[in-house]
Chain A
Amino acid sequence: EVQLVQSGAEVKKPGESLKISCKGSGFTFASTWIAWVRQKPGKGLEWMGIIYPDDSDTRYSPSFQGQVTMSVDKSTSTANLQWTSLKASDSAMYYCARRVWFGELGGGFDVWGQGTTVTVSS
């Protein structure tokens, strides 16, 4: 079964660091773009960026560039999203998603993780 399984919910204080993870299985992880999407409570989806595990090529949204770091561990088929200094405004649900591509027809994010809730509060 193709799936992405994310790490569990986190509660942190402002200024703390955090790394959340997304483990893929059932597909060739190294050759599949993995995206991260943020969703604040009651709000819409925000595209954060995307990473290609085979060479760690990473494209960030300008809104998130410098705020987060995306990385991968090919040996464990795991993508990571990390913060060095959390803010209350980082409180949200974070999803990872697999990009499927059909050539000229384009593609989309066909498999999603279950989401990781991050709460940042003093």
Chain B
Amino acid sequence: EIVLTQSPGTLSLSSGERATLSCRASQSVINSYLAWYQQKPGQAPRLLIYGASNRATGIPDRFSGSGSGTDFTLTISRLEPEDFAVYYCHQYGSSPPYTFGQGTKLEIK
């Protein structure tokens, strides 16, 4: 089973700043089958990025993903107030189970 470790656990930033979230896998993620999700309180998760770097439908271009192998990054170029939420990475590259990271909480500084 691939274990995903996200860092930092909590990130405190202000609107307009740049956010960089990390996701490290315990072994290489096949085909970079790594997705990122955003979850706000009381809501279901929302798909942001798939295949490590492809934005899902309707996702603003301030969100970008990068990485391959075992190291992946989600970058939010200029934080908007609605971006403060919890972010999860998720791998689906090998045989199940398709694991999630433990999450990074992005909070307002």
A contact residues vs B (CB 8 Å cutoff): 35, 37, 44-47, 49-50, 59-63, 95, 97, 100, 102, 104-110, 112-115
**Is A106 in contact with B102, judged by CB distance below 8 angstroms?**
no
Q: How far is the CB of A98 from chain B (nearest CB, A)?
A: 10
| A59→B1 CA distance, assembly (Å) | 14
Asked whether B47 is an interface residue with its Cβ less than 8 Å from the other chain, the reply is yes
Q: Contact: A61 with B90, CB < 8 Å?
A: no
Chain B contacts of A115 at CB under 8 A?
A: 44
Stretch of B16-24, B67-75, B76-84, B92-100 lying at the A interface: B92-100
Q: How far is the CA of A99 from the CA of B95 in the complex (A)?
A: 15
**When chains A and B are docked, how far (Å) is the Cα of A119 from the Cα of B66?**
39
Other-chain contact of A44, B34, B47, B103 (Cβ < 8 Å): B103
Q: Which residues of A contact B101 (CB under 8 A)?
A: 44
What is the interface of chain B, defined by CB distance below 8 A to chain A? 1, 31-35, 37, 39, 44-47, 49-52, 54, 56-57, 88, 90, 92-93, 95-103
Beta-carbon contact of B96 and A108 below 8 Å:
no
- Interface of chain B: mostly helix, strand, loop or mixed: loop
Tell me whether B97 and A47 are in contact (CB under 8 A).
Answer: yes
Our pick among B1, B32, B45, B46 for the contact of A106 (Cβ within 8 Å) is B32
Q: Is the interface of A mostly helix, strand, loop or mixed?
A: strand
**Hey, which chain B residues are within 8 Å of A100, CB to CB?**
47, 50
Asked if A102 contacts B51 (CB within 8 A), the reply is yes
Whether A105 contacts B96 in the complex (CB less than 8 A), given A44-B88, A45-B103, A114-B44, comes out as no
A61 to B97, CA, bound (A): 5
Which residues of chain A have C-beta atoms less than 8 A from B100's C-beta? 37, 44-47
Measured CA separation A60–B100 after assembly (Å): 14
